[in-house]
Amino acid sequence: MEQIYEAIEKGNGWLNNIVWGIPALVLLMAAGIILTVGLKGFQFRKFGYAMKNTVGKMFKRQTAKAGEVTPLQALTTALAATVGTGNIAGITTAITLGGAGSIFWLWVSALLGMATKYSEVLLSVKFRERNVLGDWVGGPMYYIKNGLGKNWKWLGAVFCVFGGLASFGIGNAVQVGNITSSINNAIQQFAPAAAEHEMVINIVLAVILMAIIGVVLVGGIKRIGEVTEFMVPVMSVIYIAACLAVIVVNITRVPAVFGMIFQGAFSPAAVTGGAAGVGVKMCITWGVKRGVFSNEAGLGSAPIAHAATSETNPVKQGLYGIFEVFMDTIVICTLSGLTLLLALDGSTLNYGVEGTTSLNALALGTVFGNKAGALIIAIGLSLFALSTVLSWGLYGTRCWEYLLGEKAVKPYQIIFTLVVIISATMDLSLAWAIADTLNGLMAIPNLIGLLLLCPVVFKMTREYFDSERRLRK
């Protein structure tokens, strides 16, 4: 078994270096820049408008017909997928391997990603269609096929292959692995002897998770939307409140930490003390990788959830894409990063060595105590990760449905649920590495389709706001 793991690790490492090399990073950033320029800085100019028409409408009563979800439920389903381990464990990895400056590049990728996510969501609603059950289905495979023509159908299929496989990585292995890791860490804070029974605990947790995931997935998009509509706000408030408490306690050090972030973005060695392997390239790479992993802008995953909305205007639903990236990365990821950098020093962070959620627990423990800190991370990360698994179960369903038809849905959902057992017991670092690779692979066909269809995005956005101006006159 050890030899198999080593072979997989070696092969994935080779592929990851290609997928996440300079060309891929340039493609991601270039797409964000092209869309930002083409939309004339839309995510900045219309940020207030976007917030007013997303956050401002969250508490208004919304209804949806059969086969649809409300715009809010579409958002929370997409947010459930994006707000996950990437916001906690992913930020820890970015800082320990890329230095404090990785947070700066995380921000850059998010600011550009707002335009990318807006465009993806707009196109997913514009080119969606009904499946045999009458449900709205959409995403990159549909806007590639229906927007570019049937000659491009193969590119949509390529996206679905990588997206369907990625659902087992980013959407399952990484999430479940971090759930079991954080819960074991919390249990061991109260009962150190439990470390001897970690495998048994993992299997018990896996069985519980399998039951929850199976029940929710069987209910389809409606049930997933109902669950995430409740879960996402609750889990976000708990985690944000805990991070803010650490920031308030260390408020005098906030300016210095921001100085570390900006200095470290261009001179990582000045912050990391010259830790091996932490250079500008590593700083940018980890910042962008973890930004994309967290907010999924450019991956093409979130549009699959947004396509099920009852909202008929693509531009209006696209605004939720802007809020989604802002909330996920600018707010939650930043709070995670500040909490770590404020509460822990360089020797504790151990730059150059991949950090785990135990560091997040330790950071919160400086205010709440080690036991409470571990418990907060265990609860927060478990809720984050579980909601991500549910949403990615939907994404994988849609990908395999597109490739193989309705007959593939139930077998996929059964396999996806059973894989939880493997996810709970496998090496977490390998899970992260495979997930990173699959993320990069599914982003490529999506970005190609997105860039080819950007004139549609520009035209529809311009026409919508021209109409808005005429109505105000």
Where exactly are the structural domains of the chain? 2-472
Concatenating the DSSP letter of every residue in 117-164 gives HHHHHHHHHHT-EE-TTS-EE-SHHHHHHHHH-GGGHHHHHHHHHHHH
Q: Which helix (H) or strand (E) holds 130?
A: strand 129-130
User: In the predicted model, is pLDDT for residue 89 greater than 90?
Assistant: no
pTM value is: 0.86
CA–CA distance, 432 with 177 (Å, rounded to integer): 9
Residue 276 has pLDDT above 70, yes or no: no
Report the percent of the chain where pLDDT is more than 70: 90
Closest CA to 280 of 303, 264, 299, 260: 264
Residues recorded for the chain: 473
The two three-digit tokens of residue 358, written as one number: 């135990």
Q: For the chain, how many helices (H) and strands (E)? A: 24, 2
Q: Which residues contact 297 (CB under 8 A, 6 or more apart)?
A: 32, 109, 110, 112, 113, 114, 116, 117, 120, 291, 321, 325
Q: Is the dihedral of CA 125, 131, 133, 139 positive or negative?
A: negative
Per-residue confidence at 40, pLDDT binned at 50, 70, 90? very high
Structure tokens at 223: 């049930």
pLDDT of residue 365: 92
Has residue 367 got a pLDDT over 70? yes
Question: Does 213 score more than 60 pLDDT?
Answer: yes
Least confident of 31-45, 388-402, 420-434: 420-434
Specify the pLDDT at position 302.
86
Q: What is the tens place of the pLDDT at every residue in 127-163? A: 999 988 888 899 999 999 999 998 999 999 999 999 9
Average pLDDT, integer, range 44-69: 72
pLDDT at residue 68 is higher than 60: no
Whether residue 251 has pLDDT greater than 70? yes
CA distances from 215 to 146, 210, 392 (A): 33, 9, 15
pLDDT at 291 over 90: no
Q: Is the per-residue pLDDT at 186 higher than 90?
A: no
Superfamily of domain 2-472 in the CATH hierarchy: Amino acid/polyamine transporter I (1.20.1740.10)
Residue 8 has pLDDT above 90, yes or no: no
Residue 67 has pLDDT above 60, yes or no: no
Is the pLDDT confidence value at 65 over 60?
A: no
Choice among 10-19, 76-85, 376-385, 407-416 with the minimum mean pLDDT: 76-85
Structure tokens at 236: 């976000």
428 has a pLDDT exceeding 70: no
What CA–CA distance (Å, rounded) separates 55 from 58? 5
pLDDT surpasses 90 at 254: yes
Q: What is the mean pLDDT of the chain?
A: 85
